[in-house]
Amino acid sequence: MPEGYDKYAFEPFAVAVDLAVFTVREGLLQVLLVERGQAPWAGHRALPGGFVRPAESAESAARRELAEETGLAGALAEAVHLEQLATYSAPDRDPRMRVVSVAYTALVPDLPEPRGGGDAARADWVAPAAAGPLAFDHAQILADARLRIGAKLEYTCLATEFCPPRFTLGELQQVYETVWDTRLDRPNFRRKVLATPGFVEPVPGAARLTGGRGKPAALYRAGPATALHPPLLRPEGRP
Amino acid sequence: MPEGYDKYAFEPFAVAVDLAVFTVREGLLQVLLVERGQAPWAGHRALPGGFVRPAESAESAARRELAEETGLAGALAEAVHLEQLATYSAPDRDPRMRVVSVAYTALVPDLPEPRGGGDAARADWVAPAAAGPLAFDHAQILADARLRIGAKLEYTCLATEFCPPRFTLGELQQVYETVWDTRLDRPNFRRKVLATPGFVEPVPGAARLTGGRGKPAALYRAGPATALHPPLLRPEGRP
DNA sequence: CCAAAAGTGTTTTTGCTACACCCATGC
DNA sequence: GCATGGGTGTAGCAAAAACACTTTTGG
């Protein structure tokens, strides 16, 4: 680009962010979706998102939108795991103008009801299978995000992001079982998790909690580790 | 965005692609870099790249730039492994205007000399450590790309992308050793690779080849598999 | 007492590591 | 012959799968 380049010479690009915010609720992996009130794709569900402002990065925009859509307070919103997924740039993905969208994946624990914020009518937790046709290329983004999460559970400590600050190993196992849609052997799962230094730490004050009937479970919190060595492979070769 | 939104109201964004093209040459992992002839960052090396045109996607732009910079013919350029890495969007990453860059990673076998094409003076293969300070945030992009490649060798069949169409298991092992900067046990490596269905296939016509002295090695080609189950973990916990 | 969920122990199997060893070629 | 790189065999160890079993709660 030469010095005297005219930055207004071309049809301009807009840069947006789209968010795939996941949680585990009622034994299902659910995603936060908004209902579009206006054309195009009026009446369809869509991923929450918005445009990147002139002075902010895509990551900042994503975190701002996340706070708006989930209604989380600032300090809480900053603790949420947010990760860039991919960028979608097909020339015709938005009929209004050329929009390049940077998609992010966020993982949150089971929150109180989401607040519909910003320009979107309301935001709801929906199981991806029951979402119906999505606006734009959001079905593709959602599918990519789902694949990525499943893969990352294998070799990172990401699963704890779905859990509240204090959780039981049973809850953690349910996260894996929900995301992978498999059953895991409890004794073996337990050993694997506890054998990985820094994955989870026991809460020292002998605290316990019961999820109904059954023996009370010990409480853990997320540890400082971020990677899982060796990985926790999902059973895949077996029926 | 309301219907009557003025697409020219804001300072426009430009969308670019940057390419981290890797190869394994002379026992080193090398990357394709161009030398910048003009400000900003004149005289510094940079990743090859360019702007996304109004009618193309970022992926198309990346493939176009790849063909231009490497001088590969069309059919060959399409076979090259090209993968989106991440998008870099810090507001001040380019002093001229707001540029959001979608970075791609490409893996190519040891090619004949690269051709300097397009607006860049010339392109050269350089070992990342010997590249000197890079323009813009390209050092960050390069570091991210390097990490990603190392990780992907563990659980994908990507290593074959560094090899010519017909290769020996010794060459494949050298790819791993070069990227990971470790030594691997030949018998065990061999077994792992051959035990993974679809990773490599023997070239049936008992073809062989010698890289100098020593026993001639059997030739293989890349198989249809794309993932590695179980993964080929790099020795990391051991001295 | 029974069901349900947490937690412990044990056996079997698998896969990986680390070597030792043979084969074919150039010098 | 000998150095060099390709290819095969094998013993030992360690992790993981499968499953039996005990513990502690609610009804």
Q: Verify that B149 and B44 share a domain, yes or no.
A: yes
Residue A46 lies in a domain: yes
Q: Write down how long chain A is.
A: 239
Q: Verify that A65 and A163 share a domain, yes or no.
A: no
| Cα–Cα distance measured from residue B208 to residue B206, given in angstroms and rounded to the nearest whole number | 6
Average pLDDT over all residues of chain A: 88
Strand C reaches within 7 A of the A198 CB: no
Structural domain of A112? 11-154
Q: Verify that B209 and B118 share a domain, yes or no.
A: no
Residue A130 sits at the chain B interface (C-beta within 8 Å): no
Residue A228 lies in a domain: no
Contact list in B for residue A89 (CB cut-off 8 A) is 15, 52, 57-59, 102
* Exposure string for B172-199, b = 16+ CB within 10 A, e = fewer: bbbbbbbbbeeebeeeebeebbeebeeb
| Residues 78-107 of chain A whose Cβ lies under 8 A from any Cβ of chain B | 84, 86-87, 89-91, 96-98, 100, 102
| Cα–Cα distance measured from residue A57 to residue B100, given in angstroms and rounded to the nearest whole number | 9
Long-range contacts (CB closer than 8 Å, 24 or more residues apart) made by A145-149 = A145/A20, A145/A22, A145/A31, A145/A85, A145/A103, A145/A105, A146/A20, A146/A29, A148/A85, A148/A105, A149/A22, A149/A105, A149/A107, A149/A179
Is A81 strand, coil or helix?
strand
Task: Round to a whole number and report the distance in Å from the CA of B186 to the C1' of D6.
Answer: 10
Indicate the range of A75-84, A133-142, A159-168, B47-56 predicted with least confidence. A75-84
| Stated pTM of the model | 0.91
For residue A197, the model assigns a pLDDT of 92
Q: Verify that A136 and A75 share a domain, yes or no.
A: yes
Q: Verify that B142 and B72 share a domain, yes or no.
A: yes
The CATH number assigned to the domain holding A204 equals 1.10.10.10
Residue A199's pLDDT band (cuts 50, 70, 90):
very high
| Residues 137-176 of chain B whose Cβ lies under 8 A from any Cβ of chain A | 155
Residue B99 lies in a domain: yes
Residue B229 lies in a domain: no
pLDDT digits (tens, 9 = 90+) for A107-142: 999 876 655 554 445 788 999 988 889 999 999 999
Strand C reaches within 7 A of the B188 CB: yes
The CATH number assigned to the domain holding B89 equals 3.90.79.10
Q: Verify that B52 and B120 share a domain, yes or no.
A: yes
- Comparison of pLDDT for B154 and B75, the residue scoring more: B154
Contact list in A for residue B96 (CB cut-off 8 A) is 1, 5
Per-residue DSSP letter, A158: G
| Cα–Cα distance measured from residue B7 to residue B9, given in angstroms and rounded to the nearest whole number | 6
Average pLDDT over residues B121-132: 85
Q: Are strands A99-107 and A14-25 parallel, antiparallel or unpaired?
A: parallel
Nearest nt (C1') from B215 Cα: C24
Torsion of CA B185, B190, B191, B195, to 10 degrees: 140
Q: Verify that B170 and B217 share a domain, yes or no.
A: yes
A33: tokens are 């979706």
Q: Is the pLDDT of residue A79 over 80?
A: yes
Q: Verify that B133 and B170 share a domain, yes or no.
A: no
Residue A182 lies in a domain: yes
Domain ends where: A104, A134, A154? A154
| Cα–Cα distance measured from residue A127 to residue B67, given in angstroms and rounded to the nearest whole number | 42
Q: How far from the centroid of its chain's Cα atoms is residue B181's Cα?
A: 17
Residue A68 lies in a domain: yes
Q: Verify that B70 and B121 share a domain, yes or no.
A: yes
Contact list in B for residue A90 (CB cut-off 8 A) is 57
Question: Strand D nucleotides below 7 A of a protein CB?
Answer: 3-10, 15-20, 23-27
Torsion of CA A135, A140, A144, A146, to 10 degrees: 50
Strand C reaches within 7 A of the A169 CB: yes
Domain ends where: A154, A174, A190? A154
Indicate the range of A2-6, A174-178, A196-200, A214-218 predicted with least confidence. A2-6
Domain count, chain A: 2
Q: Is the pLDDT of residue A239 over 50?
A: no
From the list A210, A228, A105, the residue with the least C-alpha distance to A155 is: A228
